[in-house]
């Protein structure tokens, strides 16, 4: 008999739901740091380092979330992940529709 349960969330689905937590973290950084576009990051880190900061910050958050996933309580993955997706997408939509990114 197969151990496949079609009515349950598998490991890949659980990871995709958990990915809402780093999405919310990246969205929060986007909203808090990019008030004036990339000019603020260029002024802080310099013109040469700004592209690396913009690219590698989400990469580091993503890799950190992969490590955190192994230690995160499995019973909290789904509620925290769904909450993360809601908060993350709400912040991103607000930023680009009504906030500083709408210009």
pLDDT digit string (tens) for the chain, length 103 residues: 466 777 788 888 999 999 999 999 999 988 888 777 777 788 888 888 888 988 999 999 999 999 999 999 999 999 999 999 999 999 999 988 988 877 7
CA dihedral 62, 102, 87, 30 (to 10 degrees): 30
| 10 domain-assigned | no
Domain contains 9: no
Has residue 25 been placed in a domain? yes
pLDDT score at 2: 61
Q: Which domain holds residue 31?
A: 17-102
How many distinct structural domains can be found in the chain? Answer: 1
Q: What is the pLDDT of residue 15?
A: 93
Angle at 21 between CA 23 and CA 74, to 5 degrees: 150
Q: Is residue 41 part of a domain?
A: yes
Sign of torsion over alpha carbons 7, 10, 12, 17: positive
pLDDT (0 to 100) of residue 99: 83
Confirm whether 63 is domain-assigned. Answer: yes
Taking the model in full, what pTM does it have? 0.83
Does some domain include residue 40? yes
38-45: long-range contacts, CB 8 A cutoff, minimum separation 24? none
Q: What pLDDT does residue 39 have?
A: 77
> Is 2 a member of any domain?
no
Q: Is residue 1 part of a domain?
A: no
How far is Cα 78 from Cα 64, in angstroms, rounded to an integer? 18
């Amino acid at each position: 008999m197969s151990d496949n349960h079609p009515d349950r969330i598998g490991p890949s689905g659980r990871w995709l739901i958990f990915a809402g937590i780093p999405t919310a973290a990246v969205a929060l950084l986007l909203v808090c740091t990019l008030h004036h576009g990339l000019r603020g990051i260029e002024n802080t880190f310099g013109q040469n380092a700004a592209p690396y900061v913009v690219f590698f910050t989400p990469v580091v958050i993503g890799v950190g979330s992969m490590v955190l996933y192994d230690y995160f309580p499995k019973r909290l993955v789904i509620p925290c992940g769904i909450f993360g997706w809601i908060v993350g997408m709400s912040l991103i939509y607000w930023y680009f529709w009504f906030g500083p990114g709408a210009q």
